[in-house]
Amino acid sequence: MQSSFTAWGNGLLGVLIFSGSLPATRAAVGGFSPVFLTSARAVLAALIGGLVLIALRQAWPRRGDVLPLMLVALGVVVGFPLLTAIALQEVTAAHSTVFIGLLPLATAIFGVLRGGERPRPLFWGFSCAGALAVALFALREGGSVSLTGDLLMLAAILVCGYGYAEGARLARHLGGWQVICWALVFSLPPMLALALLTQPPTLAGIAVPAWIGLGYVSVFSMLVGFFFWYRGLALGGIAGVGQLQLLQPFFGLLLAGWLLGEAVVPSMIAVTGFVVACVVGARRYA
């Protein structure tokens, strides 16, 4: 009972932290370019993560874990942050949050592919229904819709889902927080070089919300959230604790409306709710 409570508690804390990622990224791209934001947040998180690894005297990962850790880094350290940062120049945080409803499904699909499981036909039925709902929402939404932004969000969901699934597999023997710390450390050299190449010519005029957004995504979205998330997945499993991701779109919509003052229209809530229902069904028949 205690282990189950710990798993779900850690998973919920991770989801709550991740829910602020898109609103914080939206604020940060108001002052920083997407490439610099992606590289800077990775560098800051890697420095902290590296110090934690040294302080706690963690052994170097075994050779077979190096490539999977680099793939985790490509998914959650580089791919998802960069793609969402570019997308959020085209669409609002509230609009993009609807796509997060597909993240549990993407994680489940990559978990199936990695584990060689054979889902029942109803799994794919729920999967297609959820994807269709998101596609129709993206096509019919008025005003701020950008096909480029929507496609970037879909790509971000795919790479993040893979990073979650691969990271959860590694967390079973490496430990939850160790996975993200090592992934960040391995990504530090190229991310540091990229940050230096793309840094703003001057820091004057960058608004406070952009700095707050950069700080949040660097410390919490890129590092602290994964401490809780991967620990929860390792203790409770992807199929169980992973369902907590279904709460993230709702938290994200609330934060986008509260912190950024963005419009949260009924269609966003309706589509998010429908996608959540589809993901629940897909999980059940996976």
For residues 89-105, average pLDDT: 78
Query: What's the confidence (pLDDT) of residue 286?
Result: 56
Going by pLDDT thresholds of 50, 70 and 90, the confidence category of residue 258 is confident
- Total domains, the chain: 1
Query: What's the confidence (pLDDT) of residue 143?
Result: 47
User: Can you give the residue range of the structural domain that contains 18?
Assistant: 2-284
For residues 196-213, average pLDDT: 91
Map the chain to HEC letters.
CHHHHHHHHHHHHHHHHHHCHHHHHHHHCCCCCHHHHHHHHHHHHHHHHHHHHHHCCCCCCCHHHHHHHHHHHHHHHHHHHHHHHHHCCCCCHHHHHHHHHHHHHHHHHHHHHHHCCCCCHHHHHHHHHHHHHHHHHHHHCCCCCCHHHHHHHHHHHHHHHHHHHHHHHHHHHHCHHHHHHHHHHHHHHHHHHHHHHHCCCCCCCCCHHHHHHHHHHHHHHHHHHHHHHHHHHHHHCHHHHHHHHHHHHHHHHHHHHHHCCCCCCHHHHHHHHHHHHHHHHHHHCC
For residues 242-270, average pLDDT: 72
For residues 203-230, average pLDDT: 91
pTM passes above 0.85: no
The percent of residues in the chain predicted with pLDDT above 70, rounded, is: 87
For residues 247-263, average pLDDT: 72
Task: Give per-residue pLDDT as tens, 104-161.
Answer: 778 778 877 765 657 678 877 877 787 777 767 765 654 456 778 888 999 999 999 8
Q: What is the mean pLDDT of the chain?
A: 83
